[in-house]
Amino acid sequence: MNKVRKVDNSKISEINYDVIEKYYELGYTDGLPVVPPTEEKIDLFVKALGGNGQLVECNIPPRWGALTREVLAINMIMAGCKPEYGPVVRASMKALTERTFNLNGVQATTHMASPLIIVNGPIAKEINMNGGANAFGSGNRANATIGRAIRLIMLNVGGGKAPDLDKCTLGNPAKYTYCICENEDASPFAPYHVEKGYDAEISTVFAIAAEAPHSVTDHLCNDPEGILDTMCSAMSNIASNTSVLNGHCTVALGLEHAKTISKYGWTRNDIKNYLFMHSGNKFIKHTRNDKYGKVYNRNLPKWYKRNPDSLIPIVESPERIHLFIIGGDAGRFSAFIPGWGHMSNPVLKTIYDDNKLSDDNCDDGMCEI
């Protein structure tokens, strides 16, 4: 990807238009116009990333292109990022390229999964990310452009483009941008990364291969069991990959629901254990009453009983339910976000290499969860 050199300001509008069209012709966009990466901007972003533009941060599958700092800077600029977003984009790409995440599979699958990034810690506030009202929607520059930069890197460096290496049947709007932060300030619970052993002042990225959010609406129940039973009904949908392929899933608990549950003294672990114990489907539902013969999904764990009335859990343990408190002050809404299945494991990674856990659960600032 070549540099676009600085031009005379008197001709900037005309030339920028030509550059934008050229980038379309070269296939460097996600379908939306990109910001032309001038040499001056590239130098500024590389400096913010630590200098040395030819340093390779990681390789992006399925094409396994080298993500140098210069290429990282170019894609960030094209996405509309500010230089200070660099640490989040870089940490996200390093999380996604951990072997356990299997980005190669996520990029090439026929499923609609897309990497979801959730940021915790002080950096979210420093760069003005949104974990409140309309967090998954439009309007916040940091959320939108960080997620878009990640997607542009997956396209331009990783080669994950349809119909060549991206074989996704239907697609998903989250394949434009899928990046938010947890609403730590308004949450009645400790942040997600603190639950996982990090100090609160440490900044992290959580990466999971996920579907789009599925709305969970409950304006009726005013106790934890009622609200979480509604969440369980959304989780127990046999149409998602999570239902038949297990793996991991994400629960985005809205503020009103979270505060109601917290009022009764429930903890994060209480919530996850309840969801694990009360979600799932009878085996006979998966087999459709053997209507199509004695066939079942062989990807289910061996220890799940195959008796008709046996309950098949949505995931193999409560720790595979990743709980975040997200959303605005008003509205009794939450969301369930199915994962891609057992083919990918989420990764929790510190944004700065010198960040340490408050215990010794993980090495090198990275947790496979």
Q: What is the pLDDT of residue 9?
A: 47
| Cα–Cα distance measured from residue 165 to residue 61, given in angstroms and rounded to the nearest whole number | 10
pLDDT tens for residues 312-340? Answer: 999 999 999 999 999 999 999 999 999 99
pLDDT tens for residues 26-85? Answer: 999 999 999 999 999 999 999 999 999 999 999 999 999 999 999 999 999 999 999 999
Residue 265 confidence class, pLDDT cut points 50, 70, 90:
very high
Q: What is the pLDDT of residue 293?
A: 83
The pLDDT of residue 290 is above 90: no
Q: Beta partners for 339? A: 210
What's the one-letter identity of residue 282? K
Neighbours of 249 (CB within 10 A): 28
| Residue 256 token pair | 């009103």
pLDDT tens for residues 235-252? Answer: 999 999 998 889 999 999
> DSSP letters along 140-181, please?
-HHHHHHHHHHHHHHHHTT---TTTT---SS--GGGT--EEE
Q: What is the pLDDT of residue 368?
A: 58
Percent of the chain clearing pLDDT 90 (strictly above): 82
Q: What is the pLDDT of residue 18?
A: 85
Q: What is the pLDDT of residue 15?
A: 56
Q: What is the pLDDT of residue 345?
A: 97
Q: What is the pLDDT of residue 361?
A: 41
Secondary structure string (H, E, C) spanning 251-312 = EEECHHHHHHHHHCCCCHHHHHHHHHHHCCEEHHHHCHHHCCCCCCCCCCCCCCCCCCCCEE
| Cα–Cα distance measured from residue 229 to residue 4, given in angstroms and rounded to the nearest whole number | 55
Residue 3 confidence class, pLDDT cut points 50, 70, 90:
very low
Instruction: Kindly report the average pLDDT of the chain as a whole number.
Output: 91
The pLDDT of residue 139 is above 70: yes
Going by the DSSP 8-state scheme, the letter that residue 212 receives in this structure is P
Residue 6 confidence class, pLDDT cut points 50, 70, 90:
very low
The pLDDT of residue 364 is above 50: no
Strand ranges for 194-255 from DSSP E: 204-210, 214-217, 249-253
Q: What is the mean pLDDT of residues 210-218?
A: 97
Contact 2, 130 (CB under 8 A): no
Which of 188-192, 211-215, 291-295, 337-341 has the weakest average pLDDT?
Answer: 291-295
